[in-house]
Structure 1
């Protein structure tokens, strides 16, 4: 057992969690809230839970934690139906029980010397960014900016932002109401043509913002991202372009979720040379330079 996996001992729990709410959205997206006090008490931005979607389906499904309330004891997830497992999960109703294992994984670790946190979330990679934004908003030291992207309808009704973000294109004003209410600046991107939404890739929108910063302010930026592999690869390239640190949360298929089966390994570049790491316990958060080294 390596140091990362060993550090998670004592913070991983199995619970029979009651479904408190389960709301469907366009594009096969669902918001799931579970009463899971132990998981809620230890959840961190970037951690996930392994959920048994159906009694007849032994293999669990990993879902990133979007929000957690330690006092009320609930955890919330956003997921998209992509296969039989999530299709079965989408049928589950409030009041039913789901077996949940979590929280699992290495979380995001913001560095205080870089208070300008740039949060990039694509598709079902949005939840870890929302979780991280909620943590950062509690301390006035941080100055987060959240950029969220989706190629299906957003699972919320976006609204014009009242928070000015210098450096972004004119007319890009759509935001996520939850983040706006928290006082966290937010903008949306999509390839679809939507009012107030940036039409293009999220990394292009991020580049506009970075290019408009002064050299001094750019030195205060750290990038955090979760989303599809091509997006994370582009994030790593953007971080190299501006010589910025970046942490990325990987999305991988998993079997056990606790490091035993090694079914979610990815190749990484370490100071000692190439190596294999398990996304479930060595990640899911990695230094972008480790998983997307320069060509």
Structure 2
């Protein structure tokens, strides 16, 4: 015939023995019975071991506390951009050029499609540190759900405030005057104030600045910005610039390697700019599930 296991003494009794000391108050019989296997262990050690076990059982049996439900992302019916456009965005984010990202986001916003959720972190992190990424087209492309995602990270609170701010209607910006070649040589950044696509004479002036080697370590970034602004019809200028470079190091141009990298960056950016148009032009049915990335899920 089996017997019931010994009952644990009340927690208050265990605490009382611990406070008074085992030399003044004996251990409860239940503790002695449950700890018979401890052999010659000191009474104080037996009591403390029992207290640890009893407290652990009490905490394990206690119901879990309740917490408020996590915030829910708003619904957003806008479809995802096509798989081709998403793959292109992945490549653009690997070596981000603000002008190219602005082009991608602007094309997505104009067509009412969205970047996949796996791109939201990189887009937000880049936008938080680069004011030349257009916040307006970023907010439109992300949609309510993407902007809500940005709001969840306290480090992006300032960016979220900008993205959540309604964009008031405003008159079209006045046309920007095109600087001449002398002005571009004196201040190469002047050319970057002119929106794409550039007139041919401005593209020629900017490429001559690159070939002159006057930008130093800034040459590659400037070259990428130039390539992103070139008109499609002026792609031949990039090949002319490449042909104008000597094949090997020259004494008169110690920064030749930087110039070569800048021209290559311009060519790569021009190709990516054309790829943006192509990816979205092929996206005739942006909401078609057969064309959407398979692994995208709502957050």
* Shared fold per TM-score greater than 0.5: no
More helix by share: 2
TM-score range, shorter chain: under 0.3
More strand by share: 1
Larger Rg: 2
Q: TM-score, normalised by structure 1?
A: 0.24
